[in-house]
Structure 1
Amino acid sequence: MTIDTPQWFKSSYSSNGGNCVEVATNTAPQGIVPVRDSKVSAGPVVTVGASAFAAFIAHVKEG
C-alpha cells in the first residue's frame, strides 16, 4: 500500500492563529487519517482509521 505524503490542514475555527490539531485527509483513500498537534509539527502523529474518523466527524456535527 502506498501512502501519499500528508497534506496537513487546520480547522477553519483556528483562524485566529491559535494552535489546533491538524489532519491530513488526502490519505483517507488508503484507509487512514493522520492527526497531529499543530504546535509540534515534527512531533508524533496519531493514525486513525478513515471510517472511524468519518464517524467521529459525523457525531461532532450532530452535536
Structure 2
Amino acid sequence: MTPTPPRWFKSSYSGNDDADCVEAAISPTPRLAIHIRDSKNKDGAQLSFTGGAWSGFLRSVRPQG
C-alpha cells in the first residue's frame, strides 16, 4: 500500500499576504505525525513531530491562565 501524501494547510497564524506563511500537515498513519514547512520553499526542509511531542510543544507555548 502506498502512503498517502500529507494534505498541507496554511497556519491560521500566518499573514494574509503569503509573505510569512507556515504550512502544516497531519499524517494519521502509521502513527500520528505533525509536519511543518515554509510555504515559500515547499521542497525544502520539513519538521516532523509525533503527536505527543506536538502536544507538549503546544502546552509550553500557550499562555497560561
TM-score by length of 1: 0.68
What residue in structure 1 maps to residue 32 of structure 2?
31
Normalized per residue, the structure richer in helix is 1
Greater relative contact order, per chain length (Cα 8 Å cut-off, separation 6+)? 1
What residue in structure 1 maps to residue 16 of structure 2?
16
What residue in structure 1 maps to residue 52 of structure 2?
51
Offset from partner CA, 1:13-46 (integer Å, 9 cap, x none): 2242232221112x14523111111110111222
Number of aligned residue pairs? 61
**How large is the RMSD of aligned CA atoms in angstroms?**
2.2
Identity of aligned residues (%): 36
Stretches of 4+ moved more than 4 A in 1? none
TM-score by length of 2: 0.67
* Equivalent position amino acid for 1:57 in 2: L
Structure 2 gaps of 5+ residues are none
